[in-house]
Chain A
């Protein structure tokens, strides 16, 4: 029987399995808690965004936005801010990530960097609009922080996702294996 599931969705189980997602989420949550308590400068690195984007690239929009919701809410819990702020932005970004992967070449590092930086800025923009709607105070250097976070997240996200790809898809040396 022919498998009608899109190749992209079939691939997600091979790239990021469900139990991996849970481990990643717990890992992100713990790391963000540690950062928040002991190393606030590390909060410029948005780990949740990187993972959500990665899951979104290799999966469909449904899984992407569900992962975005879960990671976002966990991040809100870790940061102790308004519950739903990152949940909202990461849900949208996880949804969009599955479509973005069709437009860019992710085998190039610069492509990953650009997409991650753009998504980080989008994440900041969604936060900004939400805070505006809720009439919450916004710091005067908000956008500076967003740009720094975008840069840091994009660099680490691009490199990290590349390594993770290598781990998931190890290159085969056909000269050693040989051709039967």
Chain B
């Protein structure tokens, strides 16, 4: 029995078909005047080149990540140093930005109250649960003296306890034992604001018959001879009749001591 062997030359067929397609594409042009062959080659080439690029990218990335690690330690150290430097720079710029933002407030404060003042930075704060104190960057050489009032654009901060030539220790108004004379602007009722270590002030010696409403703003009265008269202190958050002849009044200071960065020291009048 004879078996016929018929070869199937697929490759020549493909080549001939391709030859005809090339011939056809060379005669037909698209809207841009390009031959169809160029467009078809792009269709063929684009996925291949994309796949090649992805593959080489993966290989390169793997090489960098897992194989070529000899330079990673130095690079890491350089980046850490650079990062630290940049963070410091950012903090400095933020401080400068805040300072420039607040400068108009201090200027208006200075013009409103005719004091001699000195701008100082807060360079240290005590832990709030321990004592309510801080150190500022102004001392006797800048005109600061004992019992100088320390204020901010928002209101009263405290008073200077001790100082040296360049720095001063400030007792915040919220410190236990600290006190300031306070008054209501509308009724003129006066009392003594005392700190107790919390973020609230107790306003003492307000007669029970006085009308003190929650939300009233309390200003310095000047009776303590430390704080100039008329500086805002805080807002009444509790006002009720006491057991004795005085009312129980609590005031929330306007100044958030924990967020203070600069203060103004009243150096003279």
- What residues make up the interface of A, taking CB atoms closer than 8 Å to B? 4, 6-8, 60-62, 65-66, 69, 72, 82-85, 87-88, 91-92, 95, 98-99, 102, 130, 134-136
Contact = CB atoms under 8 A, between A and B. Distances in A.
Contacts of B12: 62, 65
Given A65-B13, A88-B17, A136-B28, A99 B23 contact: no
B21 A84 contact: yes
A159 B242 CA distance: 128
Contact of B2 (A7, A60, A69): A7
Given A8-B6, A60-B7, A61-B8, A88 B24 contact: yes
Nearest to B24: A84
- Interface residues of A: mostly helix, strand, loop or mixed? helix
Contact of A91 (B6, B17, B27, B36): B17
Contact of A85 (B8, B13, B24): B24
A61 B23 CA distance: 22
B9 interface: yes
Interface in B1-38: 2, 4-9, 12-13, 16-17, 19-25, 27-28, 30, 36
Nearest to A81: B27
Contacts of B5: 4, 6
A6 B9 CA distance: 15
A104 B7 CA distance: 19
B13 A134 contact: no
Contacts of B9: 61-62, 65
A158 B38 CA distance: 42
A91 B7 contact: no
A102 to B, nearest CB: 8
Contacts of A4: 5
